[in-house]
Structure 1
Amino acid sequence: MPSQRTLTIVIAAYNEEAVLPEMHQRLSSVLDGVDAESQVLYVDDGSRDGTWAVLEALAAADPRVRLVRLARNFGKELALTAGLDRVHTDAALVLDADGQDPPELIPAFVAKWREGFDVVYGTRTRRDGETWLKRFTAAGFYRVMQRLSQTPIPPDTGDFRLMSRPVLDALRTLRERQRFMKGLFTWVGFRQVSLPYERAPRLAGGSKFNYWKLWNLAIEGITSFSTVPLRVATYLGLFSALAAFVWGVFIVLRTLVWDDPVQGWPSLMTVVLFLGGLQLVALGIIGEYLGRLYLEAKQRPLYLVADERKGDRCL
């Protein structure tokens, strides 16, 4: 049996100076009662406010705190990757910095881990503090992903999860640059189990994910784990070509048999605009996949680290 004695809490933070002190206080109280040697790894994702200064103060007061500061804002997916790359303990638990995922559930995650599960992921039964539109679109996205992807991504599940050492080692082998971490967490497999919980409102501040960023994240997830959009474009092209051929035969027969004159400008423009729109949609879908291949081919580093600190009791 692998060791189950040490644990790292990985937290990616971007402009969270208002929420971090209270969040760390709650987290410290929980870790004091956890039957595991623990540390907290904060990743500052290029924050523009006083987040790094707050983190330095937390590290000075708590020797269990380890800090990583990225050279710029690389996005949450890559910030989490930077944190998980630096985990050397028996397990890691990913926690959001805003306090919506309660650290008080950490003992329950650890208990499931010690039952033999390699991944324990939190499933949201409620999403307090969020608009009905965000809840609706989030639920719709997960249902669409279940339909499109062969990787069974659990619905209503974020990054709040515990992963064992074998899972962390497997994730380190996945170095793709366009990363959808929720999909990667599931793709590696291993023994996984859900832990239902109620998500609370943010402790302070506002969400850094607007609807445009969420839309781009959804496209990232779909294109990273499904080729169905490409197939849909192919089927639309075949259907349009078949429909155009049938319509052309009908026009010829109608003219020859019934001497019905061919309609002119309105029908022609309708067909041209319809087919042109389908072509642009298909080119856009192909462009999304081609753009991702282009970024992968350049082989740039996933992230760059500007600073790193390690407390006396860090593992």
Structure 2
Amino acid sequence: MDKLSIVVPCFNEEEAIPLFFPAVEKVVNQINDLLVEYWFVNDGSEDDTLSQLRRLHNKYPERVHYVSFSRNFGKEAALYAGLNATSGDFVVVMDVDLQDPPEFLTKMYDSIKTGEYDCIGTRRVDRKGEAKIKSFLSNQFYHVINKISQTNIVPGARDYRMMTRQMVNAVLSLKEYDRFSKGIFSWVGFKTKYLDYHNVERVAGETDWSTWKLFKYAMDGIADFSQAPLSLAVWLGTGSFIISLIGIILVIIRRIVEPNSSVFGWASLVCLILLIGGLQLLCIGIVGKYVGRVYMQSKHRPIYIIKEKQ
């Protein structure tokens, strides 16, 4: 009998948990000869999320388990902790807000059981109900990162996916501190099939992913899976040097051709200084971003700290 582990990161989801569990149970109970375990990860929630998880565990002690962090470490850490806790032959990652349709679990299981695929993922074909600016930035992110990275990240792909134990072990073998799961799932390889669906709105609560947080998350993804920003810094520096060199030559030529003429005014000089200084700061910032990630990794700090586990 196969065992399915369901990993569910939670942050301030006290309203969604009572709706999520019965919805998923209704689907998995229809699958014959399948043992199921739930691993909820409380990512430092400030509401009643932990109490809800304790109630579920007390009611279903053999089926429902949870990990509670000492503070908020972020969804990536929660995903990693949940995958670490699982013991199933197959592992599913789901959001608790039911934006990941539970009815897909049957299709996922039937497809992965054939042995043809190592992962059955999902992707949204639209973003109906989301802010236009958020949808635009998301689409641009996929366009940019697939241009500059050797790791292909499927546009609209969700973390919602079912994986074999072999693929899960491969993901867990990557111990990097700054994690970008969408890129990691693609980087480890393995044959993946995607199921398309239309965007589904949250059943309860509000998302913690603001436009600014999504932007920072996208920048982390680019830094994790591309060295293009470093190349950009090199080209900006080279271009700035060439332009400055041409400017100096033009000033010298003008001085020779027209000895009595004045050189360019102070305003032009100030603009050039600001331009070159700005490019230097930009390049230093890009390099600093990568150096900072190396620094954090070199500290060997744990990705998360567990306060309670059941």
Q: What's the TM-score, normalizing by structure 1?
A: 0.94
Report the Cα distance in structure 1 between the residues aligned to 2:74 and 2:124, rounded to whole angstroms: 23
Question: Paired residue for 1:126?
Answer: 126
Report the Cα distance in structure 1 between the residues aligned to 2:44 and 2:267, rounded to whole angstroms: 54
Question: Paired residue for 1:88?
Answer: 87
Gaps spanning 5+ residues in structure 2: where? Answer: none
The alpha carbon displacement at 1:180 in A equals 0.5
Deviations 1:212-241 (A, max 9, x none): 211211111010000000000000100110
| Residue 276 of structure 2 corresponds to residue 275 of structure 1 | yes
Report the Cα distance in structure 2 between the residues aligned to 1:128 and 1:79, rounded to whole angstroms: 27
Report the Cα distance in structure 1 between the residues aligned to 2:222 and 2:187, rounded to whole angstroms: 14
Question: Paired residue for 2:291?
Answer: 290
Question: Paired residue for 1:6?
Answer: 3
The alpha carbon displacement at 1:258 in A equals 3.0
Alignment of 1:1-315 (within 5 A): 5-35=2-32, 36-62=34-60, 63-115=62-114, 116-259=116-259, 260-309=261-310
- Secondary structure of 1:129's counterpart equals coil
Report the Cα distance in structure 1 between the residues aligned to 2:192 and 2:91, rounded to whole angstroms: 14
Deviates more, 1:72-81 or 1:189-198: 189-198
Match of 1:19, as an amino acid?
A: A
Report the Cα distance in structure 1 between the residues aligned to 2:131 and 2:210, rounded to whole angstroms: 12
Report the Cα distance in structure 2 between the residues aligned to 1:204 and 1:81, rounded to whole angstroms: 25
CA contact (8 A) 1:129 1:202 kept: no
Match of 1:60, as an amino acid?
A: N
The alpha carbon displacement at 1:199 in A equals 2.3
- Pick 1 or 2: higher relative contact order, CA cutoff 8 A, min separation 6: 1
The alpha carbon displacement at 1:23 in A equals 1.1
- Over the aligned positions, Cα root-mean-square deviation in angstroms equals 1.2
Give the % identical residues.
37
Report the Cα distance in structure 1 between the residues aligned to 2:269 and 2:293, rounded to whole angstroms: 37
Match of 2:105, as an amino acid?
A: I
CA contact (8 A) 1:233 1:285 kept: yes
- Secondary structure of 1:280's counterpart equals helix
Report the Cα distance in structure 1 between the residues aligned to 2:133 and 2:160, rounded to whole angstroms: 22
Structure 1 consecutive aligned stretches of length 4 or more whose deviation exceeds 6 Å: none
Report the Cα distance in structure 2 between the residues aligned to 1:103 and 1:211, rounded to whole angstroms: 26
Q: What's the TM-score, normalizing by structure 2?
A: 0.96
Match of 1:216, as an amino acid?
A: K
Match of 1:53, as an amino acid?
A: S
Report the Cα distance in structure 2 between the residues aligned to 1:129 and 1:104, rounded to whole angstroms: 21
CA contact (8 A) 1:6 1:38 kept: yes
CA contact (8 A) 1:102 1:199 kept: no
Report the Cα distance in structure 2 between the residues aligned to 1:85 and 1:199, rounded to whole angstroms: 29
Report the Cα distance in structure 1 between the residues aligned to 2:134 and 2:100, rounded to whole angstroms: 17
The alpha carbon displacement at 1:286 in A equals 0.7
The alpha carbon displacement at 1:184 in A equals 0.6
For this pair of structures, how many residues does the alignment match? 306
- Secondary structure of 2:134's counterpart equals helix
The alpha carbon displacement at 1:107 in A equals 0.7
Report the Cα distance in structure 2 between the residues aligned to 1:34 and 1:245, rounded to whole angstroms: 71
- Secondary structure of 2:160's counterpart equals strand
Report the Cα distance in structure 1 between the residues aligned to 2:217 and 2:179, rounded to whole angstroms: 9
Gaps spanning 5+ residues in structure 1: where? Answer: 310-315
CA contact (8 A) 1:92 1:162 kept: yes
